[in-house]
Amino acid sequence: MSSENVIHIKLSYLEALKAKRSILSSEMSSLNIAKKIARYRAIRLEELGLKTRLYGKMKEAKLNIRKLQSLLPNPKIPKIIKREELREKHPEAESRSYSEGDIESQLREIQRRLTELQSQNI
């Protein structure tokens, strides 16, 4: 570089001291941020490792449950209890089958009331 392009700025002692403090505090902040980022990465890697271990343990537990179910005998459940379980699992299917009959009985009930009302008005 030639000396013609160099620009000098005169600063007072207090201004220079303030600028130096500002630069040092910026460096300190940058280093603290870098330290926190490194800590975050370490914690994140630890979390991923724990999640992987948990997934493996859950898979192992599921496999053990399936083995246990295959070893245990299947109980004989009476048909009545099976039907009740099916009704609990699928209540809408039951209501649909009875709803057709219910509609017919409701229509007959309404027709009966109408005839009673007509006979009272005469």
Can you give the pTM of this predicted structure? 0.47
What are the residue boundaries of the structural domains of the chain, listed by start?
10-74, 78-122
Q: Are 48 and 55 in contact (CB under 8 A)?
A: no
Q: What is the pLDDT of residue 2?
A: 60
Q: Are 19 and 11 in contact (CB under 8 A)?
A: yes
> How far apart are the C-alpha atoms of 120 and 113, rounded to whole Å?
11
Q: What is the pLDDT of residue 110?
A: 87
User: What number of CA atoms fall less than 13 Å from residue 114's CA on the CB side?
Assistant: 6
pLDDT digit string, tens, across residues 76-106: 877 777 777 777 776 555 455 556 678 888 8
pLDDT digit string, tens, across residues 105-122: 888 888 888 888 888 776
> How far apart are the C-alpha atoms of 117 and 109, rounded to whole Å?
12
Q: Are 87 and 94 in contact (CB under 8 A)?
A: yes
